[in-house]
């Protein structure tokens, strides 16, 4: 299984949807709250070029937003 990281904020609806999807599919992930963690926010912006969340990193692939079909494809679900 590839490593999965999600940069999110507590008030982001699509972030909650992504995390629920990962839980349903038993996908382990690391979460960073970019609302409170300025270093991780800076890291997210450097990787994605924007402030929008969620930013999901699967292996070496970056997804901005909750693109369920792309997540399924990258994880082979």
Expressed in percent and rounded to 5, the helix, strand and coil fractions of the chain are 40, 20, 40
pLDDT of 29: 98
Ranges of beta strands (E only) in 4-67 are 4-8, 30-33, 55-58, 61-64
Domain span including residue 55: 4-75
pTM of the model: 0.94
- CATH number of the domain encompassing residue 46: 3.40.30.10
pLDDT of 2: 86
Instruction: Tell me if residue 38 falls in helix, strand or coil.
Output: helix
Residue pLDDT tens, the chain, 77 long: 689 999 999 999 999 999 999 999 999 999 999 999 999 999 999 999 999 999 999 999 999 999 999 999 999 98
């Amino acid at each position: 299984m590839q490593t999965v990281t999600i940069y999110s904020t507590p008030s982001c609806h699509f972030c909650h949807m992504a995390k629920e999807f990962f839980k349903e599919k038993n996908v382990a992930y690391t979460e960073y709250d970019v609302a409170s963690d300025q270093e991780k926010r800076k890291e997210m912006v450097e990787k994605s070029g924007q402030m929008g969340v969620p930013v999901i990193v699967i292996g070496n692939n970056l997804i901005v937003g909750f693109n369920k079909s792309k997540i399924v494809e990258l994880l082979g679900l």
